[in-house]
Chains A and B, each alone.
Chain A
Amino acid sequence: MASGDIAYETIIGLEVHAQLLTASKMFCGCSADYAAAPPNTHVCPVCMALPGALPVINRLAVEKTIRAGLALNCTIAGHTLFARKNYHYADLPKGYQISQYELPLCHSGWLDIEAEGAARRVGIARAHLEEDTGKLTHMGEAAGDTRLSAGRGAATLVDLNRAGIPLLEIVTEPDLRSPEEARAYLVKLQQILRYLGVSSGDMEKGAMRCEANVSIRPVGQTQFGTKVEVKNLNSFRSVKLALEYEVARQIAVLEAGGRVVQVTMGWDEEHGRTVVQRSKESADDYRYFPEPDLPPLEINPAWVAELRAALPELPDARAARFAAVYALDERDAALLAGERATADYFEATAAALGGTAPAARTAANWITGELFRLMKAAGVEIEQVQVGPAALADLLGRVERGEINANSGKRVLGQMFETGQPAGRIIDELGLAQVSDADALAAAVDAVLARYPDEVAKYRAGKESVLGWLMGQVMRETRGKGNPALVRALLAKALEG
């Protein structure tokens, strides 16, 4: 990033909070599936912080955190501690959040990303477990006021359904060098969390949230500049836009002879700018200390080894395998491997088609082409597609064998996608079975040649391009069902005769 005479380097570190996909909350038995529930119905003495209630660690949340840590190449602690992070807010029932401070569950990992054509290894400082807060809804005059003024008819409503949902916090080293790298890191992280079934990673629904620490420094300077924390980044797009805005802002401050002040900024999506939320002077002292209600958690190395062995093949490795084994081009391989369900769908289809490289490429072409087009138009994910891999392979086999032609195949797939019916039935219903009967096709060829003597003459006079047009007329005569290869051969023979 350059401006004026001085070139600046951007330094970004990210903190991501991802809700874990567990049946129950982090420290109580309440259902974690609160999305459609009326307010304060997924609550109990523990997550409402009634006097005397105590937390109990959710083992599945620990397991999912370890799996995420392993996928991020982290060291898994043998001995890990929960801690109380103390602060008062209406969405925090206990007045402290149970989190991890010293001795997090996972630390010292990395994630390799690619952005703007270059590869970068992003250090993962730590990945730890904590609990989510409740949700506040500001009404009337309290809206937009973070101090929750309740004056003159305004009110803030508290919903504790979300309080205590397990959260995985992943903190990078300050290794990212551009907003695009930050975006690429998040995309990759989301892919991995989804692959592992650890989190839905859904940023729009708040299941994955991001905060960034941004600073700039003149190129060549080793000391970091003053960092600014940017919050309220609710999509990949807002991460990139907010960081671009913030970097430009900091450069402008320095260029104008000012200095960057350590603050917390919020991204104002509507106006496309970052705004100061809180200055450092008013920053909280969280008074962390080990959670006395939870004994230190000892992680059995054998369990970690078991989880490591059971890790699925991750997106990068899978894409590389697709490219190597099936000779897919890299773009298609990455596209298919990016989501686990898509990759599984592709491999199942390829296998049902015989599992050879050509069969896989056929499957890849149809999935990344026609199927993705249909999904996009219908706005559905691969999990909701009614055409299973076996059904798709059945259709593609019919095309390969010449039972129907490729264009009919697309039409049939469209119907299968809509109705969930098998290819065979749709082909029958639409009468699309390709005519490969040479006598029937020869009759159609003769009829066309008889109808267009001028064109036949032109061809015979050397204008070979007329062949394609005649071909089209024969296909029309067969209502599109003619086997194109056979039609072409018959037509050529008849014209020469």
Chain B
Amino acid sequence: MLHITIHAARRMLRAGDIGARELTAAILERIDAVDGQVRAYLTLTPELALAAADRADAALVAARAAGTTDDLPPLLGIPLAIKDTITTEGIRTTCGSRILENYIPPYQSTAMARLQQAGALILGKTNTDEFAMGSSTESSAYFATRNPWNLAHVPGGSSGGSAAAVAAGECLAALGSDTGGSVRQPAGFCGVVGLKPTYGRVSRYGLVAYASSLDQIGPLARDVTDAAELLGVLAGHDPLDSTSVPAAVPAYAQMLDRPVRGLRVGVPREYFAPGMQPEVEAAVRAAIQVLADLGAEVREIGLPHTDLALPVYYLIAAAEASANLARFDGIRYGLSAAAESLWETYRETRGQGFGPEVKRRIMLGAYALSAGYYDAYYLKAQQVRTLIRADFDAALAEVDVIACPTGPTTAFRIGEKMADPLSMYLTDILTLSANLAGLPAISLPCGFDGAGLPIGLQLMAGAFQEPLLLAAAFAYEQAAGWHTRHPTL
């Protein structure tokens, strides 16, 4: 029951086989039992969760009596976890940073508002690399989260808390945010499903910005069906986010079982570069074979500017971050260091409040935007970003879905890459391009390495082609069955 899916829990809740309080209490007990080891949560809100569960139970009882359970909101009574980069009204939102240690938002993010309207209840806020800048959750100012499959390893990042919580049975599903792979990479490391929607598909209002042109909120879930359920709730135009797109929201979860026969699957040769862990390549190639066996037409494709994605990403993301993080100045909220002058207040607040990785990216970004360097760095990066988009446009004219590994390796050991930022950056090398191109991408489990750590299969599709993407993922998942495996803690 600890590893129950949303769709299974909903059936049981509506049938009266389980109560929302019972389910929530069981998950809270699980958190109690294992989170001391996993350390997925930064903030827990058990009272709020149980109160919401009681309200859900009342609604469930009434609906059962009236025979109207089918009309209930889709996530009624479902306990979820929220990455701490997502604003939660009245619940501390730290972004994994000391600078927001005591910040309690007075307003609600659109993603949270939609989840609550759908009846979901919130267990707490999950750990993240500071301001989502990292690939291991080790740059959190509070503590490192551990991979439930092997506690000596990282869960990935930056949505490592959410991925670990899902894998460890500490929630049914969770929200993450993905700027360069921050939903998919930890999903791959923790053996769960992570979906980054098309840029503009889900409102960013209330997502604390890291890199505005790349950030997207996405679900981390036990299976593809749950990811589709959550996307259906989250997606849609938001007048509060000018970059959200007013496109109709399909019933994703009802469109999963379209057959993959004839689906054109492209395998980019640049995504199987030397240095890749052999077990990862073997598992991903085997997964692609499964799709072929299901009737998909598999062909090799080229995405020639792949090697430029990493420098382009770090220039654009850092440039945007350098401005996005300027608001943390100690004047209106968050940490405020007492000092003798305004400039000292800035220096002390930001000096004490930000960790080294955040400072590194702010400096890198401010430099890339500086007079005399703008053309060479930021502008050039934007031009190359256009080329990367064009690569995908060309490839997706010939194939429906692109299949590749989520990352070049499985989860590395805690501490292994912290001293070497560049090797840390390289762990995102296969996920960055989808953000730069604004495309939807999903990571789902496709096996384990010799050490028992999960391997992630990444699928990408054209903009707003989530139905196609999810259907391909669902077909593989059902054929392969990896999603039924869970870590023992």
Contact B207 A52 (CB under 8 A): yes
Contact A151 B326 (CB under 8 A): no
Answer whether A50 and B242 are a contact pair too, CB < 8 Å, given A86-B323, A95-B323, A96-B323. no
Contact A292 B204 (CB under 8 A): no
- Of A53, A56, A156, most B-chain CB atoms within 10 Å: A53
Q: Does A493 contact B (CB under 8 A)?
A: no
Answer whether A86 and B326 are a contact pair too, CB < 8 Å, given A51-B105, A151-B341, A285-B370. yes
Nearest opposing residue in chain A for B330, CB measure: A90
Q: Does B47 contact A (CB under 8 A)?
A: no
- Of A54, A94, A96, A149, most B-chain CB atoms within 10 Å: A54
Question: How far does the Cβ of A465 sit from chain B's closest Cβ, in whole Å?
Answer: 80
Contact B320 A57 (CB under 8 A): no
Q: Does A25 contact B (CB under 8 A)?
A: no
Contact A149 B371 (CB under 8 A): no
Nearest opposing residue in chain B for A158, CB measure: B331
Kindly list chain B residues whose C-beta atoms are within 8 Å of the C-beta of A150. Answer: 339-342, 345
Contact B341 A289 (CB under 8 A): no
Contact B342 A84 (CB under 8 A): no
**Whole-angstrom CA separation of A83 from B105 in the bound complex:** 27
Kindly list chain B residues whose C-beta atoms are within 8 Å of the C-beta of A84. Answer: 323
Q: Does A406 contact B (CB under 8 A)?
A: no
Question: How far does the Cβ of A252 sit from chain B's closest Cβ, in whole Å?
Answer: 33
Question: How far does the Cβ of A172 sit from chain B's closest Cβ, in whole Å?
Answer: 24
**Whole-angstrom CA separation of A84 from B323 in the bound complex:** 8
Q: Does A205 contact B (CB under 8 A)?
A: no
Kindly list chain A residues whose C-beta atoms are within 8 Å of the C-beta of B346. Answer: 88
**Whole-angstrom CA separation of A44 from B369 in the bound complex:** 29
**Whole-angstrom CA separation of A90 from B341 in the bound complex:** 11
Q: Does A93 contact B (CB under 8 A)?
A: yes
Kindly list chain A residues whose C-beta atoms are within 8 Å of the C-beta of B333. Answer: 50-51
Q: Does B274 contact A (CB under 8 A)?
A: no
Answer whether A93 and B327 are a contact pair too, CB < 8 Å, given A54-B240, A86-B369, A149-B340. yes
Q: Does B208 contact A (CB under 8 A)?
A: yes
Contact B109 A52 (CB under 8 A): yes
Q: Does A55 contact B (CB under 8 A)?
A: yes
Answer whether A293 and B212 are a contact pair too, CB < 8 Å, given A49-B327, A88-B346. yes
Kindly list chain B residues whose C-beta atoms are within 8 Å of the C-beta of A54. Answer: 204-205, 240-243
Task: Tell me which of B87, B319, B340 contacts A52 (CB under 8 A).
Answer: B87
Kindly list chain A residues whose C-beta atoms are within 8 Å of the C-beta of B95. Answer: 51
Contact B240 A56 (CB under 8 A): yes
Kindly list chain B residues whose C-beta atoms are within 8 Å of the C-beta of A49. Answer: 327, 332
Q: Does B213 contact A (CB under 8 A)?
A: yes
- Of A51, A89, A90, A149, most B-chain CB atoms within 10 Å: A51
Nearest opposing residue in chain B for A289, CB measure: B369
Contact A295 B109 (CB under 8 A): no
**Whole-angstrom CA separation of A86 from B370 in the bound complex:** 10
**Whole-angstrom CA separation of A88 from B109 in the bound complex:** 26
A30-75 with Cβ < 8 A to chain B? 44-45, 48-57
Q: Give 1 or 0 for each of B294-336: 1 = CB within 8 Å of chain A CB.
A: 0000000000000000000000000110110111110111000
Contact B331 A90 (CB under 8 A): yes
Kindly list chain B residues whose C-beta atoms are within 8 Å of the C-beta of A156. Answer: 342
Kindly list chain B residues whose C-beta atoms are within 8 Å of the C-beta of A95. Answer: 323, 325-327, 329
Question: How far does the Cβ of B340 sit from chain A's closest Cβ, in whole Å?
Answer: 5
Q: Does B67 contact A (CB under 8 A)?
A: no
Contact A295 B242 (CB under 8 A): yes
Q: Does A294 contact B (CB under 8 A)?
A: yes
Question: How far does the Cβ of A80 sit from chain B's closest Cβ, in whole Å?
Answer: 14
Contact A293 B242 (CB under 8 A): yes
Contact B332 A52 (CB under 8 A): no
State the interface size on chain B (CB cutoff 8 A): 49
Q: Give 1 or 0 for each of B72-105: 1 = CB within 8 Å of chain A CB.
A: 0000000000000011000001010000100101
Q: Does A287 contact B (CB under 8 A)?
A: yes
Interface of A is mostly: loop
Q: Does A148 contact B (CB under 8 A)?
A: yes
Q: Give 1 or 0 for each of B226-269: 1 = CB within 8 Å of chain A CB.
A: 00000000000001111100000000000000000000000000
Nearest opposing residue in chain A for B345, CB measure: A150
Question: How far does the Cβ of A171 sit from chain B's closest Cβ, in whole Å?
Answer: 19
Kindly list chain A residues whose C-beta atoms are within 8 Å of the C-beta of B105. Answer: 50-52
Contact B341 A52 (CB under 8 A): no
**Whole-angstrom CA separation of A86 from B329 in the bound complex:** 13
Q: Give 1 or 0 for each of A92-106: 1 = CB within 8 Å of chain B CB.
A: 011110000000000
Contact A295 B323 (CB under 8 A): no
Kindly list chain A residues whose C-beta atoms are within 8 Å of the C-beta of B93. Answer: 51
Q: Does B209 contact A (CB under 8 A)?
A: yes
**Whole-angstrom CA separation of A56 from B86 in the bound complex:** 19
Q: Does B106 contact A (CB under 8 A)?
A: yes
Question: How far does the Cβ of B318 sit from chain A's closest Cβ, in whole Å?
Answer: 12
Contact B326 A96 (CB under 8 A): yes
Question: How far does the Cβ of B126 sit from chain A's closest Cβ, in whole Å?
Answer: 16
Q: Give 1 or 0 for each of A271-314: 1 = CB within 8 Å of chain B CB.
A: 00000000000000101110011110000000000000000000
Task: Tell me which of B103, B340, B341, B343 contacts A51 (CB under 8 A).
Answer: B103
Question: How far does the Cβ of A100 sit from chain B's closest Cβ, in whole Å?
Answer: 15
Contact A48 B332 (CB under 8 A): yes
Answer whether A50 and B106 are a contact pair too, CB < 8 Å, given A93-B332, A96-B326, A293-B243. yes
Q: Give 1 or 0 for each of B335-368: 1 = CB within 8 Å of chain A CB.
A: 0000111110110000000000000000000100
Question: How far does the Cβ of A3 sit from chain B's closest Cβ, in whole Å?
Answer: 37
Contact A51 B208 (CB under 8 A): yes
Q: Does A147 contact B (CB under 8 A)?
A: yes
Question: How far does the Cβ of B93 sit from chain A's closest Cβ, in whole Å?
Answer: 7
Question: How far does the Cβ of A290 sit from chain B's closest Cβ, in whole Å?
Answer: 8
Q: Does B467 contact A (CB under 8 A)?
A: no
Question: How far does the Cβ of B404 sit from chain A's closest Cβ, in whole Å?
Answer: 27
Contact B332 A292 (CB under 8 A): no
Task: Tell me which of A53, A158, A287 contacts B366 (CB under 8 A).
Answer: A287
Contact A55 B323 (CB under 8 A): no
Q: Give 1 or 0 for each of A227-267: 1 = CB within 8 Å of chain B CB.
A: 00000000000000000000000000000000000000000
Q: Does B218 contact A (CB under 8 A)?
A: no
Kindly list chain A residues whose C-beta atoms are within 8 Å of the C-beta of B370. Answer: 285, 287
Nearest opposing residue in chain B for A28, CB measure: B240
Q: Does B378 contact A (CB under 8 A)?
A: yes
Kindly list chain A residues whose C-beta atoms are within 8 Å of the C-beta of B325. Answer: 95
Q: Give 1 or 0 for each of A130-160: 1 = CB within 8 Å of chain B CB.
A: 0000000000000000011111000010100
Kindly list chain B residues whose C-beta atoms are within 8 Å of the C-beta of A288. Answer: 369
**Whole-angstrom CA separation of A147 from B209 in the bound complex:** 29
Question: How far does the Cβ of B479 sit from chain A's closest Cβ, in whole Å?
Answer: 39
Contact B213 A53 (CB under 8 A): no
Nearest opposing residue in chain A for B331, CB measure: A90
**Whole-angstrom CA separation of A45 from B209 in the bound complex:** 14
A-B contact sample (17 more), CB < 8 A, given A52-B208, A285-B371: A50-B332, A52-B204, A53-B107, A54-B204, A54-B240, A55-B242, A86-B369, A90-B342, A93-B331, A95-B325, A96-B326, A147-B343, A148-B342, A150-B340, A287-B366, A287-B374, A292-B243
Q: List 6 A-B residue pairs with CB atoms under 8 Å apart, sorted by A's residue number.
A: A50-B87, A51-B208, A52-B109, A95-B325, A95-B327, A292-B211
Which 10 pairs, one residue from A and one from B, show the smallest C-beta to C-beta distance? A95-B326, A148-B342, A287-B369, A292-B212, A292-B213, A51-B208, A52-B206, A49-B327, A52-B87, A45-B107
